[in-house]
Amino acid sequence: MRVVFDTNVFVAAFAAQGLCSKLLERANEHDFVLYISPFILDELKRVLKTKITLYTIEIEEAISLIAEVVNVINPEKAGIKVEKVCRDKDDDNILACARAANAHYLVTGDKDLLKIKKYKKTKIIPPRTFELLIIPK
């Protein structure tokens, strides 16, 4: 199963030892294939610095951990661009990543994305629903 996590899922994984960190661990255990785009990586770095206020070394460690778990895909290089689907143009970049990855699921806590429910072949679901899909170990 191919999956994209929205930036907010990665942030939650590093902000607290909860559901999102468990989902990231499951990706590390190869229970599904996790994709990320350069846009999501950049947004994650920015949010970890400005909202979570991690130090640069902590951000580098977080990105290094993620790099071990994910497959980086560049929608622009794949010729995929999503425009004006979402109210927030940043969310269009998340959808572009899901489309480039041919993802089965986009996991997010973003209410605007969750309202869409499905984009092309990708189902958009919250972390709790995704957890139920991958059956806890």
pLDDT at residue 137 greater than cutoff 70? no
User: Which pLDDT score is estimated for 100?
Assistant: 96
Per-residue confidence (pLDDT) for residue 85, from 0 to 100:
67
Domains of the chain, residue spans: 2-133
Decide if pLDDT at 136 tops 70: no
**What is the pLDDT at residue 39?**
96
Cα first-last separation, the chain? 17
- pLDDT per residue as tens digits for the range 30-83: 999 999 999 999 999 999 999 988 899 999 999 999 999 999 999 988 778 767
Residues 108 and 5: their CA atoms lie apart, in Å, by 6
- Domain 2-133 is found in CATH 3.40.50.1010: yes
Number of neighbouring beta carbons within 10 Å of residue 107:
27
* 9-36: pLDDT as tens digits: 999 998 888 999 999 999 999 999 999 9
What is the average pLDDT score of the chain? Answer: 92
Helix (H) or strand (E) holding 116: helix 111-116
CA distance linking residue 76 with residue 6, whole number of Å: 18
Task: Return the pLDDT at 17.
Answer: 87
Is 86 a residue whose pLDDT tops 90? Answer: no
Q: CA-based Rg of the chain, rounded to a whole angstrom?
A: 14
pLDDT digits (tens, 9 = 90+) for 122-133: 999 999 999 999
* Residue 91 pLDDT class (50, 70, 90 cuts): confident
Looking at residue 33, what is its pLDDT?
97
